[in-house]
Structure 1
Amino acid sequence: MLDLVIDARPASLGNGFSVRRILPYRLRRMLGPFIFMDHAGPVSLDPARVTSMDVLPHPHIGLSTVSYLFDGQVTHRDSLGVQQIIRPGEVNWMTAGSGIAHSERFEDPSMLAGGTLEMIQTWVALPEADEENAPSFTNYQPQELPIFTDGGIWMRLIAGDAFGLHNDVKTHSPLFYTHVVLKAGTRFGLPMGYPERGAYVAKGSVEVGGRFYTAGQLLVFTPGIDPVLIARETCTLMLLGGEPLGERFIWWNFVSSRRERIDQAKADWQAGRIALPPNDNVEFVPLPDDRSRPAGNPPPPPLS
């Protein structure tokens, strides 16, 4: 029933801001087109340290970043000149395509007064035909994301198609991504019709096949099996998956079906050929040291 259980690992973004990293994992690089997943928080922010936790401008290629908040507020700026505050229940969907740089800063007065933050960020790899598309950005408001409720179930469709729900979030391959809250004792299943499916336990605990799973675990299910998830307490799940895209290379914040394209992206960032956000261009994250590594050693930790 379960192919794998992935335990989130602590990861530092290099600025005193630690997250729980779920994907990629050494035994499971992707789940459908999802190639990266971080869970930040919940954390109460020290007013004296808030700005030091900003994620400075950094580049991406070959993917879409998907930011979703449970609590708090983050300001996004990118090379297209977009400046967008994201709040809980909204979706920031940035498609990097041929190359984009963006920053994520904590400028909300409530954050600066010691507020709380909790967010999930995923990366969705692009099909080969779309990897060099022009970059784009869209913020989707809560009213654009359908909600389903029924007997202990609350669910918001973030993207794709699931349980008969659909929205206008632009995706490039078949996938599903949902935010689900279950009351204790509620039984729930997974969307049908996708070969790769998983459930990340963000809060609480669930039972599957007589075993218990707790917050910080991603359950990867066997294709063709339709499991029943039982909430052992009020719990929050992120369900995700879809059609696999094939092998992808990932180095730092770059994703591509071609290794040489990663090398080109490194050179482009080093040479300043990926533009900085015009309204956030004073500082940026330099290209990490690319010294040779023994086979199997991980690349530099990605930024969100």
Structure 2
Amino acid sequence: MIEVTELTKRFRGAAAVDGLSFTVRPGRVTGFLGPNGAGKSTTLRLLLGLNRPTSGSATIEGRLFAGRPRGLRHVGALLDAHDVHGGRTARAHLTALALSNGLPRSRVPAVLEEVGLASAAGRRIGGFSLGMRQRLGIAGALLGDPPVLLFDEPVNGLDPEGVRWARGLFGRLAAEGRTVLVSSHLMSEMEHTAEELVVIGRGRLIAAEALATFASRATRQRVRVRSPQARQLAGLLAKEDGAGVVPPPASDPEAIEVTGLPAARIGDLAAHHRIPVHELSGRGSSLEDAFMELVADSVEYAAKDPR
């Protein structure tokens, strides 16, 4: 189990993490979400003893990670897939990690096989793609067969097959009773991967709850509309107070998406203006909807909404 209690970290007076408290329990995949600059990576570094907190605590299984010898037996982590020596082979890199943590050499071919890099064991890491480096980083995290695993943006650079493999791996690890914390910016991926969420913004906790509970917080219900006069209808709907309209894309010129208006009002407007409607369907709130609403005040660099 991971416990973060009133954790604060300041750099030159600015708080990267500010009074943060949450718990990550075993047996489930917990997603760690937040906009850029929210403090996710700093929190993970504090958990691993790579930075010292200004105040508060971050413990794993009730202890500071820095006080554990042979740490890979207790916690496996992938923070930066590029943080490896490019001149070493994958086998040499993992062997060095194994020997420094008192692990048997037999774990090296086992984890290389598990992450799909057995055939690349003798290749130098400098020639690896980002996806291969991510797999190697995951192999390093698995090396000690630890009860707690931390992954920072682990699917960046993976192809669709790799993303599906990683999703299945995290689920299996959690099903084995391990504590699995996955940091990601990919809302769609978290919807398929996580059961619990910890969401932070500007170093502070926004939510710590089940994914379904968090997604249900979204207030902007969406309605999908299809019409052969989609652009004309979009123009009419855009004039309604509180409405948000995504105009039809070139790939689907009859489809628009509307927020802020109930389906009944959209249908009435279309009927009044004699605009045929071929589809009018409400869509439930998504994780992305809830995330964008709840972190709106925590986004450091916000672009203009195209709607």
Name the TM-score, length of structure 1 as normaliser.
0.29
- Name the structure with the higher helix share: 2
- Name the structure with the higher strand share: 1
Name the TM-score, length of structure 2 as normaliser.
0.29
Q: Which has the larger radius of gyration?
A: 2
